[in-house]
Amino acid sequence: MNRASQLILTAIGALFMLTLLSGCKHTEESSNADPIEAQVAQAVKEAQLLGDLRLYATTGRRATLPGISQDDTEQAKKMCGVQYMTGTGDAISTTEQREKRKHLIEFMTSYNQVIFEACKQKH
Residue 24 lies in a domain: no
d(CA 12, CA 96): 23
**Helix-strand-coil split of the chain, %, nearest 5:** 60, 5, 35
Show the low-confidence residues of the chain (pLDDT under 70): 1-33
What is the pLDDT, as a whole number, of residue 2?
Answer: 61
Residue 26 lies in a domain: no
What is the pLDDT, as a whole number, of residue 27?
Answer: 47
d(CA 27, CA 11): 28
Residue 27 lies in a domain: no
What is the number of domains present in the chain?
Answer: 1
Residue 74 lies in a domain: yes
What is the pLDDT, as a whole number, of residue 90?
Answer: 85
Taking only the tens place, the pLDDT of each residue in 77-108 is: 999 999 999 999 888 999 999 999 999 999 99
What is the extent of the structural domain holding 67? 3-19+34-122
What is the pLDDT, as a whole number, of residue 123?
Answer: 85
Backbone phi, psi, residue 2, to 5°: -80, 170
What is the pLDDT, as a whole number, of residue 66?
Answer: 98
What is the pLDDT, as a whole number, of residue 28?
Answer: 45
Burial pattern 5-26, b for ≥16 Cβ within 10 A else e, equals eeebbeebbeebbeebeeeeee
Residue 75 lies in a domain: yes
